Structure 1
Amino acid sequence: MRELEILKEEDKEALELPRTSVEQADTTGKRKLYIESYGCQMNFSDSEIVTSILQEGGYATTSNFETADVILLNTCAIRDNAEQKVRNRLKNFNYLKKKRPEMVVGVLGCMAERLKTKFLEEEKIVDVVAGPDAYRDLPNLLSDAEEGQKAINVFLSKEETYADISPVRLNSNGVTAFVSIMRGCDNMCSFCVVPFTRGRERSRDPYSIIKECQDLLDNGYKEVTLLGQNVDSYKWASEDGSETVNFAQLLERVALVNSDLRVRFSTSHPKDITDEVLYTMKKYENICKYIHLPAQSGNSRILKLMNRTYDREWYMNRIDAIRNILGDDCGISQDMITGFCSETEEEHQDTMSLMEYVKYDYGYMFAYSERPGTPAAKKLVDDISAEVKQRRLAEIIDLQLRLSQERNNRHVGKVQKVLVEGFSKRSEDFLQGRNDQNKVVIFPKENYKKGDYVMVTITSCSTATLKGIVVKS
């Protein structure tokens, strides 16, 4: 998995290891639920919704799958490799199913939505299949499965946002939390399965979002990340049309909940991110100066084949706006796909030159993987060899490593405001948190604790991590 090398340390763990249920204190008389989450932040957020629904339905969570009555895998379908991880994981549960045939195994999320009934046919261990909009039906589906029936619901809704459900924070550090502001996607990128697995775009009402953020603050959380497939297309209108809210306005409302509550968001789409959003970010100190802005390619012809609805020049214009309004220190990360259908060496070099132009802080880079059912799979030919894809991938990773080091070097000698998220993974003598630009900062623990804001002078860095010492007041 060479593409993982340039990710920050905690992001590597998120991709390499599933996030699992937490152990509930009182499980007396309750059936035990174990859930693993794979893929994007939206899936982790959805698992928190699922847990809330099932706890209301009388289940208790366990962190030990061997004691579970129900095992659920919340899946990703963005790449074939993501799906293979799930299939391999299911094989690991075969021995349990043989020992305890009454145990229920379910598959949720995007892979469930993509494969539908085929999942039940191909993976005999699976009892329940539920798509992203069917989670309210899970108590019924599990009840059917517990009676020996295979159960499936992959209905996609045009209205479901789960706005009334209070998520159960899984594996929470008690400091940072995800808040879903919208679901689905209307962008038909030719390589992507998301519109088919998560349905049409719909925005959650702003009042429930603000209430969730306030509740998190009241419970000691210090940071929220607003989530959506494309947050910049957030749009809500009251039933009578008297009130409308766009993403910039929502961002401002969340920032005003409390100046001590840090605000992040993900993911932005280059065609939709506006100057209004950037000026809102500039206006409020507690809105972090970091934007994940997937490019996917640096070549206009390839972008058109991808149906990204912008070209190289448009993307560069958005980068220029970010730098002009928020300054050169604003963190920017990317998604890149290399070896897309018919990509030439010159077009690959355009991606490299775009990376040089932007000088990304870090990125998520992958070789193109054809996904069944997508427009690209139907209309384009996956004609770049695996060897060429991997060589091009290695080149953009090497370039990003250099750019990440250069960007991190800029922080050395500067003071950063760090929100402490917990102990460093290597030693409990050190704490770690993130700065405004979403970079991990490690420093000696001293008397500080999780949830503190600490001013840290950066003394050294790697491509993934900043290290420093606390500024004495």
Structure 2
Amino acid sequence: MTENFSEIINEETAPQKLLQWSGEYERTCGHKPLALIHSYGCQQNVSDGEKIKGMLSKVGYEFTSDVNEAQLILYNTCAVRENAEDKVFGKLGDLKHLKENNPELIIGICGCMAQQKHVAEKIKKTYRQVDLVFGTFAYNDMYNMLWEIISKHDRIFNLSENHVDINEDFLQLRDDKIRAFVPIMYGCNNFCTYCIVPYVRGRERSRKPESVIAEVKALVKNGYKEITLLGQNVNSYSYGFPELLRELDKIEGDFRIRFMSSHPKDASHELIDAILECKKVCKHLHLPVQAGSDRILKLMNRRYTTADYLKIIDYARSKDPEFSFTTDLIVGFPSETYEEFCETKELIKKVKYDNIYSFVYSRRSGTKAAEMEDHISDKQKGLWLRELLLEQREVSTAWLSRFVGRTVTVLPTGEGRTGADYLTGKSDEDMIVEVKADKKYIGKFIQVRITKAMNWALRGELVEDK
């Protein structure tokens, strides 16, 4: 079909050309061009995917989840762990036959994985069905790249490393109508030795407070109940993160605020105080510790000790004994011993995390840790991970049991695992709660009396609307 529309060159800009092309496509084919956008990885990637969908909707695209219907397939990728990349390469292989049957299909890769030169080279040589590869700094050029492919059948690889100014004026097309991610900053300056993020997302850039506040106000006006502020390290927000929380807390409406992530080296008493003072901010902090051994933390370039970390925990719990913490943990970092791994287990017991997000160390090419000798077998790492999860299961069960008999505020977001009669949501403390209740309560704050604690969630009964 593209040949019929490739002469649309009389408009001034790529968005205008694409909009005219999509109109011609609809008149010829009977429907608007369809795009499939799939985001892998973290919440920031989900937010980027929403931005991409917003951009495409402006030039006439609609969306599908069926690869067989799509005229554009775009995978928004993650580079934090190797298995995430393997999934994408597997997907690309599956699409080869679709491209053979439909040469007009546009297949693209974007995001963190695409920002790596060795990945782009592999795709260029091995996955000839891919038309478009662009990294994390090229979103603003997406219209031009897409038009070049449609009009000239070019393959485009854009790995620009120019840290362009943050575009404050963009439309995000969100699938979730209850919870919204709001990025407040991009990039990272910390260069932890295991982490690829500073290399693929660049140095820290912060959005202006007035832009963030305006976006949150608009979301609340449109009925969103939970706003999650995003940043690789929100404590590095250039305009003062505690101050931003206090300003957002002044916004009128029935909603709550979460955020992630905080770097322990920058977590302060001022941050804890702001969380506790703000009525709309959840009394929960995701504080990635990564390891319980000071030697391993130094090798990771985390720039704090376990004693430093525990001071933040102790301060928060001295102000509010129910203050909730979750964390990230890496198992099997190069040269880690079993004794050092056991220090991580001890830290879990000391902190009493609500939940942990634990992963086996994944070597990332280009990072400092990739140059370290890794003597720990994959089998051993897997055994340690299971041991860690069993430890956390005991901690979670004991910690969650304290809530039996109490009443907590819950925001149901869908059906529960227990059955169709149950709804699932999270409490302000970030605990998963299942409650037997009508679906009319989805997206509304409700009061739930906790009747049972499991190792992964709480169960309760509906008390009343909030």
TM-score by length of 2: 0.90
- Relative to structure 1, the CA distance from residue 148 to residue 472 in structure 2 (aligned partners, 3 Å threshold; closer, same or farther) is closer
- Over the aligned positions, Cα root-mean-square deviation in angstroms equals 1.7
**Residue type matched to 1:155 in 2?**
S
- Relative to structure 1, the CA distance from residue 162 to residue 365 in structure 2 (aligned partners, 3 Å threshold; closer, same or farther) is same
1:286 equivalent in structure 2: 280
Does the alignment pair 1:118 with 2:122?
Answer: yes
Percent same amino acid among aligned pairs?
40
2:6 equivalent in structure 1: none
Structure 2 distance, partners of 1:122, 1:374, is 24
2:403 equivalent in structure 1: 411
Does the alignment pair 1:435 with 2:435?
Answer: no
Does the alignment pair 1:274 with 2:278?
Answer: no
Does the alignment pair 1:332 with 2:325?
Answer: yes
2:256 equivalent in structure 1: 262
2:181 equivalent in structure 1: 178
Deviations 1:297-319 (A, max 9, x none): 11111111001111111111111
* Secondary structure at the counterpart of residue 112 of structure 2: helix
**Residue type matched to 1:179 in 2?**
V
191-200 or 93-102, larger mean C-alpha shift: 93-102
Deviation at 1:160, TM superposition (A): 3.4
Of the three residues 298, 310, 318, the one matched with 1:304 is 298
Does the alignment pair 1:204 with 2:207?
Answer: yes
Deviation at 1:209, TM superposition (A): 0.7
Structure 1 distance, partners of 2:226, 2:134, is 30
Does the CA contact (< 8 Å) of 1:117 and 1:152 recur in 2?
A: no
Does the alignment pair 1:213 with 2:216?
Answer: yes
Deviations 1:161-188 (A, max 9, x none): 3321121103x1x111100100001110
2:62 equivalent in structure 1: 60
Deviation at 1:401, TM superposition (A): 1.2
Does the alignment pair 1:154 with 2:159?
Answer: yes
Does the CA contact (< 8 Å) of 1:259 and 1:286 recur in 2?
A: no
Structure 1 distance, partners of 2:129, 2:351, is 47
Does the alignment pair 1:167 with 2:167?
Answer: no
**Residue type matched to 2:147 in 1?**
S
2:13 equivalent in structure 1: none
Structure 2 distance, partners of 1:160, 1:29, is 36
Of the three residues 37, 46, 63, the one matched with 1:44 is 46
**Residue type matched to 1:433 in 2?**
G
1:33 equivalent in structure 2: 35
Deviation at 1:329, TM superposition (A): 1.5
- Relative to structure 1, the CA distance from residue 140 to residue 400 in structure 2 (aligned partners, 3 Å threshold; closer, same or farther) is same
1:20 equivalent in structure 2: none
Gaps of 5+ in 1: 1-25, 236-244
Does the alignment pair 1:386 with 2:378?
Answer: yes
Structure 1 distance, partners of 2:215, 2:334, is 43
* Secondary structure at the counterpart of residue 88 of structure 1: helix
Does the CA contact (< 8 Å) of 2:93 and 2:127 recur in 1?
A: no
1:14 equivalent in structure 2: none
1:239 equivalent in structure 2: none
Structure 2 distance, partners of 1:192, 1:375, is 9
Kindly tell me the number of residue pairs found equivalent between the two proteins. 435
Structure 2 distance, partners of 1:234, 1:133, is 19
259-268 or 189-198, larger mean C-alpha shift: 259-268
Spell out the pairing of 1:234-245 with structure 2 (5 A cutoff). Answer: 234-235=237-238, 245=239
Does the alignment pair 1:92 with 2:98?
Answer: no
- Relative to structure 1, the CA distance from residue 382 to residue 457 in structure 2 (aligned partners, 3 Å threshold; closer, same or farther) is same
* Secondary structure at the counterpart of residue 62 of structure 2: strand
Structure 2 distance, partners of 1:307, 1:122, is 36
Deviation at 1:260, TM superposition (A): 1.8
- Relative to structure 1, the CA distance from residue 410 to residue 259 in structure 2 (aligned partners, 3 Å threshold; closer, same or farther) is farther
Does the CA contact (< 8 Å) of 1:141 and 1:152 recur in 2?
A: no
Structure 1 distance, partners of 2:134, 2:204, is 19
- Relative to structure 1, the CA distance from residue 165 to residue 298 in structure 2 (aligned partners, 3 Å threshold; closer, same or farther) is same
2:137 equivalent in structure 1: 133
TM-score by length of 1: 0.89
Structure 1 distance, partners of 2:406, 2:60, is 51
Structure 2 distance, partners of 1:63, 1:385, is 39
1:375 equivalent in structure 2: 368
Does the CA contact (< 8 Å) of 2:423 and 2:436 recur in 1?
A: yes
Deviation at 1:53, TM superposition (A): 1.3
Structure 1 distance, partners of 2:216, 2:316, is 26
Gaps of 5+ in 2: 1-24
Larger-Rg structure: 2
